Structure 1
């Protein structure tokens, strides 16, 4: 699944999800050790549900993997931030990609936290078989990293 998410990211951004060149198992590192969150939700419903979250995302939102993968993605934002989040997702649906997003999100306990340097992309953009949307964000302001 993560390989497909990465392929869609590369198709729209021009590069792969950041991973140090020295890492032998890229997808294991992205899932378990990436210093940024990666999430994805499904398409085709009025209330998309997360189907992927890496360890950093689980830590930020304070959900277990089982809980996160049954969570409607709208609940990742507080009630007052959901309209803005939805507008951003609609932009991504039309354009395929958006970046530079920072803003509040809410964890399992209802505590607000900030995400930084968010990027959101359409999974399957440009095809009749779009299968969701994915996002990455940094839990703190990002240090400059060299991309592949």
Structure 2
């Protein structure tokens, strides 16, 4: 990863970008319909409206160009949840995903979470390999119809 990538918290305009990029990339790569973008919009709205000191977002950027994002939410005192993890296609394979995941995991630990969970799809093979390398274990996998496509949902977790 190039050294000129910076990380900041969520700022005005970022939520629209997060929803738009999730919608566009998941449509392109997975064939997911507009309901996926609606899911992301709902997650973003709840995050913004109810955010606590134990929740955080990171936007990776180079100047004005957004390159990726990751969110750490807190569904309970003991459990943190990784949400809305995205790396722009041009930045995949550069180490940016590792850098974002490092920040999320460290923050969850620092704020007292005992475990970090996430939800993804089997088709995200590179992400699954990243999680496994970091010590996450898959705790559930099931075929579903989601966002207009047959897919396999996966739940992963790691003890912190």
TM-score norm. by structure 2 comes to 0.30
Greater strand fraction, Structure 1 or Structure 2: 2
Structure having the higher Rg: 2
Structure number with the bigger relative contact order (C-alpha 8 A, sep ≥ 6) is: 1
TM-score norm. by structure 1 comes to 0.31
